[in-house]
Amino acid sequence: MSFNLFVIQALNGLQLGVLLFLMAAGLTLVFGIMNFVNLAHGSMYMMGAFIAAALYNYTGSFWLAAVLLAPIMMALGMVLDRIALSRLYDRDHLDQVLATFGLILFFNELARMLWGPSPVYMEVPEALGGAVQFFGIRYPAYRLLVLAAGLLVALGCYLLVHHTRLGMLLRAGATHRDMVGALGVNIRLLNALLFGLGAVLAGVAGLLAGPVMSVQVGMGEPILILTMVVIVIGGIGSIRGAFYASLIVGVVDTLGRTLLPALLRGLMERSSADIAGPAIASMMIYILMAVVLALRPQGLFPVQRG
């Protein structure tokens, strides 16, 4: 593999990573702070993509769609919390898994009713349609935007959690939930805001993924599984962990897919390498997760609790 190709593949890996981070950030906050398993997070991603596609196709502007999407997702997340999720806070994890799995089915059916079973059209914004050249590498401009947007959101999350009053309350709520409540903070509102924030992040991931991937019913589940892997590797509840683990998973997955088949071809016969290569490549991140669970069950970057 030439150096240029390696750089392109590393960029591809990072870009998948930041997309995963947008998903993982919301999921890990909710899981870590509220001890709540929210399988419906993938549905927020799907709804984000569908709503963004609808807004984009209606207004004709990707940027306007992006601006309108955030408050809609915020509202969706908060309403969902108020109607369904808040009733499940005190139940055990199995009940939460069952109920939020039900929500996945609900949202899939809702999307099917609203937008039909066929995938929906969504195009890259015109200004970013082509590929850009730098250092002799051609790379799709839109993917650079995804990369940049993901890193910006990561920075935003860091600032929010570590340098704002809301972030301070969130961090306090994670470790001393009852104490924060006793100090007169409206924990319910805090929780609803947290879900809203998670929904916005997932929706933005859906918006960014829409022009690259197929916007269709059920698109949230494969990414949800990857996201789960990310938060397990990163350490549940840790934004920092989610960030590094997303990048690790993105890069391992991408490089595994490209390097492993070539590597195996050097070791064994072509026909068996063609069978084993993709199979092992698709297992790589799960193997990584298993190794992390065996050696560091708390994850690579767990939350530091005082």
Partner 1 sequence: MNPRPSNTLRATLLQASAAAALSLGLLGAAQAQDALKIGFIGTLSGPGGALGQDQYDAFMLAIEQRGGKLGDVPVTVIKEDDQLKPDVGVQAATKLLQSDKVDIITGVTFSNVMMAIHKPITDAEVFFIGSNAGPAPIAGKQCSRFYFSTSWDNDMLHEAGGQLTNDLGYKNVYVMAANYQAGRDAVSGFKRNFKGNVIDEVYTQVNQPDYSAEIAQLQAASPDAVYVFYPGGMGINFIKQYRQAGLLGQIPILSAATLDGTTLPALKNLAVGAITSAPYAPNIDNPQNKAFVEAFEKAYKRPPSMYAAQSYDAASLLDSALRKVKGDLSNKQAFIEALREADFQSVRGPFKFDSNHFPDAAFYRVDVVEENGEAVLRASTPVNIATRANFHELCEMK
If the CB atoms of residues 157 and 255 are measured against partner 1, the closer one turns out to be 255
Binding residue for partner 1, selected from 197, 223, 229, 239, defined by CB under 8 A:
223
Tokens representing 54 are 């609808």
What DSSP string describes 26-43?
Answer: HHHHHHHHH----TTHHH
Per-residue binding string, partner 1, 74-113, x by CB under 8 A, is ----------------------------------x-----
Which of these segments, 21-29, 63-71, 195-203, 210-218, binds partner 1 (CB under 8 A)?
Answer: 210-218
User: Are 142 and 129 within 8 A, CB to CB?
Assistant: yes
If the CB atoms of residues 71 and 130 are measured against partner 1, the closer one turns out to be 130
Strand, helix or coil at 146?
Answer: helix
Binding residue for partner 1, selected from 189, 279, 287, 291, defined by CB under 8 A:
279
DSSP state of 87: G
Binding residue for partner 1, selected from 80, 281, 285, 288, defined by CB under 8 A:
281
User: Are 229 and 241 within 8 A, CB to CB?
Assistant: no
Tokens representing 282 are 């698709």
Q: How far apart are the C-alpha atoms of 57 and 193, rounded to whole Å? A: 29
Q: How far apart are the C-alpha atoms of 261 and 267, rounded to whole Å? A: 10
Q: How many CB atoms lie within 10 A of CB 169?
A: 17
Which of these segments, 185-193, 194-202, 213-221, 293-301, binds partner 1 (CB under 8 A)?
Answer: 213-221
Per-residue binding string, partner 1, 110-149, x by CB under 8 A, is ------xxxxxxxxx----xxx------x-x-xx------
Binding residue for partner 1, selected from 60, 222, 272, 291, defined by CB under 8 A:
222
What separation in angstroms does the CA of 136 have from each of 239, 251, 259?
A: 35, 22, 22
Per-residue binding string, partner 1, 8-47, x by CB under 8 A, is xx--xx-xx-------------------------------
- H or E segment to which residue 131 belongs: strand 131-134
What separation in angstroms does the CA of 133 have from each of 10, 139, 244?
A: 16, 7, 28
Which of these segments, 80-88, 95-103, 175-183, 255-263, binds partner 1 (CB under 8 A)?
Answer: 255-263
Residues lying near partner 1 in the complex (CB under 8 A): 2, 5, 8-9, 12-13, 15-16, 108, 116-124, 129-131, 138, 140, 142-143, 209, 211-219, 221-223, 254-255, 257-258, 261, 274-275, 277-279, 281-282
